[in-house]
Structure formats: C-alpha cells, structure tokens
Structure 1
C-alpha cells in the first residue's frame, strides 16, 4: 500500500500489548491479520507495554510505551515519585515523536475507555490522551477500533477518556453499552459503529491432532472450517472454570479486598461442588496476575480432578474451552473464546460488557454476578445450562456466523475511514489482477 507521497503507509498500533493480558494481545493479532490481508504493503510498528514480547511474537518493531519502567508500580519513595513525574513529561515528547512518524495509528480493541478495573488517571488514560492529542496536532489518523467503554466516576479519568475519544479520528465499539456510555459522557457518537469483539475475527484452532492450515481471516476462516465453530472431543464431563484476580472496579478501592475474598470463596465452593459430583475441572486464566487465584483454588480443593491449564494466547484458550463440555468464566476474553468455539458458557459477570456479550451470543440468561458469587445458585444455573447444551450449541453456530460477517463489515469500514483513496485503489487493483 503506497501513500499519496509515493511511500508505504506507516501504521502504528498502540496499547498495553505484550504485557500479559491475553485479550489485549488477541485484539492486536486480529488487527494485524486485517492489515496483512487488506494492506500488505503497510509498514507496521507498535508503541506498547511489552515491546520485547510484541516484537518476538508478532514480528513487528516495538517501542516501550512509558519511559519510566516502574510506571505501574506504586511509588512511595521520593526518588520513585520524582522519576514517575519526570516520566510523564518525557512521555509527552516520546509519544508525540512516535505519532508524527505515522500516517495511521490503531488502538486495537481493549477496554481503553472504561474503568471497570482499578485505574489511575495518570497511567493509561494519560497515555491515551497523549496519543490522541498528538494525532490531532500532527494530522495522524488515530482510530479506536472495537474498544470497550463505560461511564467513569473519577473526574480526572473521565476528562482524559472523554478528551481522547473526542480527539480520535475514528471510533467503534465492541458493544452497545460502550457507545451509550460515551454518549452519556458527552461524546458525539452519531457516526460510531458497534461490532463484535475483534477476537471473533481470529481463526479457530483445528481439532487436536490435525495439522493446522495457513490461518485464514474473518468470514473466509469460518467457511474453511465448515461454517461452524470447531468442537474438540475432550474428557467426558470436563468443566473449564476461568478465574480472575478480581477486586471490583475503580470505584471499589475501599472494599477491594472484601470483594476479592467473596469472589474467591464462592468460586472455591463452586469448584468443590463440581468435584464432589465427579466432574473434572480445568482452571483457566487470562492475565499473568490471575496465577495466585489458581494457586488458592488448587490448595483449597485438593483433588486430582482439578488441574490448571498453561495458556499463552487466545488460541490456547480456544483449544481448552473447545475440549470442555461447559465453561464458567469471569474474564471477558475467556468468555469470548468459549463462545467462539461453540461451548455452552456461563458468565461470572463483573461489568456490563460481559452481560452484553452473553446477550449478543444468545446466552443472556446465563450470567451470575462476580461480586456476589453464590455457589448454590451458581450450581443451579450451571445445571440449567447443561440441560440446554444441544440447543445452545446450535445457537452459537448461528451467532458466530453473524459475528464474523459483522467484523468483515468493520474492517471494510476501517479501510474506508483510515486509508487514502489511492491506497484503496491500489488494493482493488491487486485483488482484480489475474
């Protein structure tokens, strides 16, 4: 893809990528798949949280998001506080210089416009604002693609998030409540689209034991897989339980430990009840920070029926959830992976995004609050879910086909919005060439 200046279009990707969150990296992978399929000549690099991981895993140059390496550690000593303050100033110049080198910058998915987990305004919200302000200053098109949003109580965080959204050249959301939240916070969303989460564009892994073909993309990927999500035969009765280091949201800091204790205790009771029924349980995570929760469950439920999966990507999560009879999960992208492969799923919901996802996929009745895990009620919902397993699998086939088609539309819209007409003409010429 060549710009109007006769040089390849320079595309940057931005976010907390390569930092241990599998959902964030899955969103990046989906956008890179789109760029390689639709704009193969684009020159792509990243400004991100884990540049070494991104460079090694995805083969693109990557720069550290923050100058100060201890950005997300609590600063208590004077030297640390001073270094963090200096980092804010340095980051303003570093971000501006990086943005200026690009024609387009894409923020791929992620909950960048929400505070459903604890968040400080001078952390990522400040970094995102620097990005969008630099884009407006230098004429670089910044796109927030398939992002999550929620109304924010903290005034500084709310102001930064609202400012970032207003300065972006393009916005789309992964669910309706996200768009509604930005509208409620004073952003004009009349032109903003709503599409399924970007992870639904990822290829579904083949069944265990089969060699994987070259990964297809979007609707083509689903057609190659026979038009349906792939289910892997697994151990009879296996239940995947996706856990999370859950402490409530940004407004729950005063009660964070109490919320976590209730969540963990309820989850342990539920896992113990499954084991008493003779069900194998496979524990899943979605972020490096979830490991202590897995350890606590394994210690509390001392049984060979309970094992922990080692997952390093959304593809790993899809393989695990496809091999299960049923999934009960907290993290948003644990839910996405389970639903994408067509496994009946129950959400331990901690935010509106989980409820919206389950409703979109036809399982809106199977949500349970993560803040108040009632093991007995959860077990009742779980049994009701299993009774409807065959019907729900058929529903998921239909909803996955629709999601894939909608994401094809999202990427077509993105090309129209971000890339110059000359670039699109070149892309059409390549497609029409014999």
Structure 2
C-alpha cells in the first residue's frame, strides 16, 4: 500500500515559538503513531521549517509582501492578484495529500490585530479546498474566540464548518465556535498541544536567598477591536511591566526576560534600557524547549504570551499570567492557578507585585498542584491522539489509509 501523505498548514516558521511548538508536537505524534507518513508543509516560513524539522515546505502565499501594508498601486495589485493565485495554489497543494492537519495555534480567533484577507482567507481556502477535493482537513487543538468584525467572523465560521475534524485547546474555544453557528456536538476539548512536548529534567533549586524570576514580555498593543487605542495600551503595558521588573531588581532578584515571537525584541530592549541593571538579562530562546529550560530554572514566572505560560506551567514553576485574552485565564484555571491572573491592558505594578509575593509564599503547594495537573494533561492528550488516529487514520493490516471527508 502507498504511504499516507500528510500536509501541515499554518503560520509556521515565521518566528512565533508557540506556533512552531504546536507543529513539533504533531510531528512527534506522527513519528510515534504513523512512522510511515510522508509529511510536508504549506506555511509562512518554509525555509525555517525545512531547516528545523527536515520536511519539505512551500510558501503559504504567492505574493511575498502579503503581511506588509500595501500603499503603492503595484503592491495593492500584487496583493489582489495573489488572492486569486492562492486559490489555485492551495487547491493543488491540498489535492496532493490524503489528510491535512492544522496543528494548534489560535487560527479561529482575533485576539491580536488581524485582517480578514490575510490568514483567515488562507484558512478558508484550505478548508474549502479540502471539501472540494475530498481531502479531510483537521483543525487539531486550535484556539477560538468571539470575533466582532463581520468579514473575519464569516471566514472563520465557514473554515470551521468545512473542516472534517475539529478539536480545541479549551472549552471557551468550543463555546465561541458554537456561538458562531458551528455544530460542535462531536468536537472535543483537550489541553494545548504543547503539553505533549517533552519537559526538561527539573533542576535542583538551590537553598538560600530567593532565586531568579522569568518575566515573559510581548509586543502587546491590544486586540483586533483596540486599534484606535493601540499605542496607549502598549505604553501602559510597557510602563507597568518595566516598573514591576525594577521593583524585583530593587529586591535583589535576578530577572530573565523571555519572548515568544521575533517582534517582542523591541520590548526587551526598552526594559533593558529603562532598568539598566546587571541583574536583568534577556534569554535567546529559539524553541519551546528553550523556554521550558529557562522557566524550569526560575523560582517563579510572570508572563504574557500564551505559550510562555504553557511552558512555565508544563515544567511546574509557579506562574502569574499577564492576561491579554480569555484563553490565558482559561489555561490558568485549568492548571489550578486561576487567582494568579493580572490584566495586560491595565498593568498595575504595585498590585502585580502583591500577587507575585503571594504566589511565592504558596510556591511548594502550587508546585504539587501543577504536578497533578500535568499528569492529567498527559492522559488527556494521549486520548486526543488516539481519537485523531481513529478519525483520520483508520487502522488496516498494513499502512494506515485516511478516511475521506464526507
């Protein structure tokens, strides 16, 4: 029998560590349970994906300037032509596969600024192509949220409806899709795919004075509905986070700044310049594995990006979320730390410091809680992957053959 052909799709290889971590988790699943699968990608950063994961990759958009603002007539025409060319490119790519997987990521949400004719349009083309060609498209452990902008909401709703399989990383995501008119009766909820990644060995935390604190920062300007006050939101976030880091330094605490996307470097630079202390250093993490090593070595973590939180919780380090969306609150509740959330839009350094000190007082208790929740997450993801195999790779005496979408 021929080997099953699996395509993976998304903004992969584009500098977002969370997106790439979700891909890594799915590739690990395929290697373990479907070792004969032939895998390639349609993604945002094909060169990076091929170099890092050793799979062939194709550029997501025909027009290379897709995510740059088009001001000149030539750029506008290029974008418009690209939308038409991508219809044919996407359909041809999907048709070459037996199944296509969208691995995790917040592909059904607009909690950060998002234009409908960018990734939402690309996802719609993918799911529509899957339905037309008979290739099942699976949205695996994805994030979703209510969307107020009509065009984006329409594209997201139809993408979900046309997918052959859907699962979500939290209950809020499933509820959001149900509210948008998607039948979610058979859709399952499981922990984020990154919880399936191997965790580094837990280091021995030295006795003595309090140890380092990891502070995960983000180039945060609010969400899709906050464009009018984006700069104000960013300034308040940066000022509050900087004041918090300065307070830690005044207490003699080493601070390690973490990022989760290439665009976060500007925030790191601003904090380093404002605090100007040898106690503040910046990590150079290139993967979720690197983030896990950093957070495992810390006494505590305060972070904004969703997958900074996932990494810290995965390794069992007491964590406080600078929450910018409901998904962060849901994750913290799932892991037993619901009371340790602070709004990223309204960072109050004094209140944040109070919450941080309370978190550290309960450190031993919270580490036990996280150990229990991580065991539960591992069991749930094992069930998730078994369900995925049953849905997309029905068993046979030889190589698995995927079931076509209805």
Sort the TM-score into its range (normalised by shorter chain): over 0.9
Structure 1 runs of 4+ with >4 Å offset: none
Please say if 1:194 is aligned against 2:189.
yes
Gap change, CA 1:131 and 1:142, over 3 Å in 2: same
2: distance between equivalents of 1:118 and 1:60? 30
SS at 2:273 equivalent: helix
Alignment partners' CA distance in 2, 1:258 and 1:192: 39
* 2:227 is the alignment partner of 1:253: yes
Residue 315 of structure 1 and its aligned partner are, at CA, apart by 0.3
Tell me how large the CA RMSD over aligned residues is. Answer: 1.1
CA distance in 2, matches of 1:427, 1:201: 24
Partner of 1:211: none
Q: 1:233 aligns with which of 200, 205, 230?
A: 205
Within 5 Å, give how 1:75-224 maps onto structure 2. 75-206=70-201
| Aligned-partner Cα distance in 1 for 2:335–2:399 | 33
Which residue of structure 1 lines up, in the alignment, with residue 6 of structure 2? 11
What does residue 315 of structure 1 align with? 289
Which of 323, 344, 361 is 1:387 aligned to? Answer: 361
- Answer yes or no: is 1:364 the counterpart of 2:364: no
CA deviation vs aligned residue, 1:208-239 (integer Å, no higher than 9, x gap): xxxxxxxxxxxxxxxxxxxxxx2453794200
1:310 and 1:144 mapped to 2: Cα distance? Answer: 30
Match of 2:404 in 1: none
- Counterparts of 2:205 and 2:285 in 1: how far apart (Å)? 19
Q: Which deviations, in whole Å up to 9, do the C-alpha atoms of 1:51-80 show, x marking residues without a partner?
A: 000001001000000011110000100000
Residue in 2 that maps onto 1:48: 43
Q: TM-score, normalised by structure 1?
A: 0.90
Q: Give unmatched runs, 5+ long, in structure 1.
A: 1-5, 207-229, 429-434
After superposition, give the CA deviation of every residue in 1:344-371 in whole Å (9 maximum; x if it has no partner): 0000000010000000000011000000
CA distance in 1: counterparts of 2:210 and 2:322, whole angstroms: 23
Shift of 1:420: 3.1
CA offset digits 1:58-114 (Å, max 9, x no partner): 010000000111100001000001001101011110000000000100000000000
2:398 corresponds to which of 414, 420, 426: 426
CA distance in 2, matches of 1:41, 1:373: 49
Question: Equivalents in 1 of 2:389, 2:293: separation in Å?
Answer: 31
1:37 aligns with 2:32: yes
* Partner-residue secondary structure (3-state), 1:153: coil
Once residues 311 and 16 of structure 2 are traced to their aligned partners in structure 1, the CA distance between those partners, rounded to angstroms, is 14
Q: For 1:345-364, what aligned pairs fall within 5 Å after superposition?
A: 345-364=319-338
Map Cα deviations across residues 299-345 of structure 1 (whole Å, 9 max, x no partner): 00010100000000000000000000000000000000000000000
- Report the CA distance between 1:277 and its aligned residue: 0.6
Residue in structure 2 matched with residue 432 of structure 1 by the alignment: none
Alpha-carbon deviation of 1:253? 0.6
